[in-house]
Amino acid sequence: MAEASAEGDVPAGIDDVWKVVSDFVGVIALMGVPVESEGEGVGMTRSVAMAGTKITERLEAVDPDTYSTSYSIVSGPIPVTGYLSTIRLTPSGDATTHLTWSGRFEPDGISDADAVKMIEQVYAGGIKGIQKHFAG
């Protein structure tokens, strides 16, 4: 099992960041990425358009007590199986929130190093999008 992660500080309080991160569809939409959803709450799916293809993900958990959400990949072009990702927030001062985005998966047809690099680039891009949203 391979693991990937990225982290960064968001210039906003944890409750404000949580409102964005806990919105399974909205967190993607705020980055300007086309997204469709089906269902509500844990078990719902979102389909995200990426580079001419579509990836479908399922919301697996939302825990407001620990400020964390987890999701899996249902289908799509990313060459991994058994993918489970978690976004976790921790306070980092009055007006800053630390965001950690991590995942575990089995590479499928590519090396562990290439899969980790690919996933970490996705996470880093997502974190930058959230940071930009709060930077105004």
Of residues 30, 79, 86, the one with CA closest to residue 60: 86
**CATH fit for domain 2-22+59-135, picks 1.25.10.10, 3.40.50.2020, 3.30.530.20, 3.40.50.970:** 3.30.530.20
Domains of the chain, residue spans = 2-22+59-135
Bridge partner list, 58: 45, 72
For 92-111, how does the pLDDT look when each residue is reduced to its tens digit (9 = 90+)?
988 999 999 999 999 999 99
Examine the pLDDT at 136 and tell me if it is beyond 80. no
Cα–Cα distance, 95 to 122 (Å, whole number): 25
For 45-90, how does the pLDDT look when each residue is reduced to its tens digit (9 = 90+)?
999 987 788 999 999 999 999 999 999 999 998 899 999 999 999 9
Cα–Cα distance, 87 to 15 (Å, whole number): 14
What pLDDT, on a 0 to 100 scale, did the predictor assign at position 25?
Answer: 93
What pLDDT, on a 0 to 100 scale, did the predictor assign at position 33?
Answer: 84
In the three-class reduction of DSSP (H, G, I as helix; E, B as strand; rest coil), residue 5 is classed as strand
Cα–Cα distance, 126 to 128 (Å, whole number): 5
